Amino acid sequence: MIGIIKFIDTAVSRTLTALCSVLLFLMAAFTVYSVIMRYVFENPPVWGDLLTVLSNIWLVFLALALTVRDKDHIALDLIYSWLPLGVAFAVQQFWTLVIGGLGIVMIVYGLEAVSTMGGKYWEMWYFAWEDGQFVFKPNYMPKKYAIAIVPISGLLVCIGALASVLEDGLRLSAGTYERAQEAEA
């Protein structure tokens, strides 16, 4: 059972890392393309800047889930090194749970924002699911598609925080727990 959970955890981590890499590449590619089209050919695409910004937003939110799971988020590692191991464990888990709570807030308010978001991006094309198939829509992508990453990231943050707390708890009970900065060394 633990082997399956570790496999899923590794697969999700690798998938998110690959998605972040693709989004970073796309962000750079959209920027270079837009700049070349604007200043060399004097014919900038209307969608270039928007896709750069959307790629950046999705990249940041997906990377948040990765940092929570890997305990790479902002932490007071220096203070943890001064505390006894048990206290450092408790403080570290407290902050991980606080970040997991942020994930819950992202889910709740993200779903509300997606469901109530009005407006459309006039410069964007998109695909929609209609009559049991994907249909190409030539213009006006709904803005709710862009912010759908908020509840998705919130769910991933909650799962990452829970997995991190459970993993650290198992390591503490087995006597193999190390503070985050010690594990990296």
Q: Tell me, what's the pLDDT at 153?
A: 95
Q: Tell me, what's the pLDDT at 184?
A: 52
Domain range list for the chain: 2-184
Strand pairing partners for 127? Answer: 136
Q: Rounded distance, CA 135 to CA 22, Å? A: 24
Q: Quick one: 64 exposed, middle or buried, by C-beta within 10 A (0-12, 13-18, 19+)?
A: buried
Q: Tell me, what's the pLDDT at 87?
A: 84
Is pLDDT of 167 > 60? Answer: yes
pLDDT, tens only, 79-109 = 777 778 888 888 888 888 999 999 999 999 9
Structure token pair of residue 177: 């727990």
Is pLDDT of 47 > 70? Answer: yes
Q: Rounded distance, CA 40 to CA 38, Å? A: 6
Predicted TM-score (pTM) of the model is 0.80
Is 61:150 a contact under the CB 8 Å cutoff?
A: yes
Is pLDDT of 155 > 90? Answer: yes
Q: Rounded distance, CA 119 to CA 117, Å? A: 7
Is pLDDT of 76 > 80? Answer: no
Q: Tell me, what's the pLDDT at 2?
A: 72
Q: Tell me, what's the pLDDT at 181?
A: 54
Mean pLDDT (the chain) is 85
Is pLDDT of 185 > 60? Answer: no
Q: Tell me, what's the pLDDT at 75?
A: 63
Q: Tell me, what's the pLDDT at 133?
A: 86
82 compared with 181, residue with greater pLDDT? 82
One-character DSSP codes across 8-72 = HHHHHHHHHHHHHHHHHHHHHHHHHHHHHHHHTSS---TTHHHHHHHHHHHHHHHHHHHHHHHT-
Strand pairing partners for 134? Answer: 129
74 compared with 93, residue with greater pLDDT? 93
Is pLDDT of 176 > 60? Answer: yes
CA angle in degrees (0–180, nearest 5) for 51-54-56: 110
